[in-house]
Amino acid sequence: MPELPEVEVTRRSFAEQIAGAQISSVFLGKPLRWPLGVQPDALLGRTVQAVRRRGKYLLIDLDQGMLMVHLGMSGSLRFAPALPPLGPHDHFELATSRGLLRLHDPRRFGAVLAVTGQDDPVAAKLLGALGTEPLEEGFQFDAFFRALRHSSQPIKPLLLGGKVVVGVGNIYACEVLFLSGIRPTTPASRIGPARARRLYQAIRDVLQRAVERGGSTLRDFSAADGNAGHFQLEANVYGREGLPCKVCGKPVKLLRQGQRSSYFCAHCQKP
Ligand SMILES: [Zn+2]
Going from the Cα of 226 to the center of ligand 1, the distance in angstroms, rounded, reads 37
Cβ partners under 8 Å of residue 128, min gap 6: none
Whole-prediction pTM? 0.88
Task: Report d(CA 131, CA 164) in Å as an integer.
Answer: 5
CA of 253 to the centre of ligand 1 (A): 10
Residue 1 pLDDT: 79
> What pLDDT does 235 receive?
83
**Above 80 in pLDDT, residue 36?**
yes
Confidence band (pLDDT; 50, 70, 90) for 95?
very high
Helical segments of 74-192, H only: 121-128, 141-149, 155-161, 170-179
Neighbours of ion ligand 1 (CB under 5 A): 245, 247-248, 265, 267-268
| pLDDT grade for 83, boundaries at 50, 70 and 90 | very high
Q: Decide if pLDDT at 117 tops 90.
A: yes
Query: 71's torsion region: left (phi>0), alpha (psi -120 to 50) or beta?
Result: alpha
Nearest to 200 by CA among 253, 142, 246, 255: 142
Cα of 247 vs centre of ligand 1, distance in Å, is 5
pLDDT value at residue 61: 98
User: Measured between alpha carbons, how far is 47 from 63 in angstroms, rounded to an integer?
Assistant: 5
Read off the pLDDT of each residue in 141-159 and give the average, rounded to a whole number: 97
CA 90 / ligand 1 centre spacing (Å): 43
Ligand 1 geometric centre to CA of 179 (Å): 10
Mean pLDDT of 75-82: 94
Binning pLDDT at 50, 70 and 90, where does residue 213 land?
A: confident
Residue 267's identity, in one-letter code, is H
131-135, 233-237, 245-249, 263-267: least confidently modelled range: 233-237
What pLDDT sits at residue 230?
Answer: 38
Q: Kindly list the catalytic residues.
A: 2-3, 56, 260
Query: Residue 216 has what pLDDT?
Result: 55
Residue range 27-39: mean pLDDT, rounded? 95
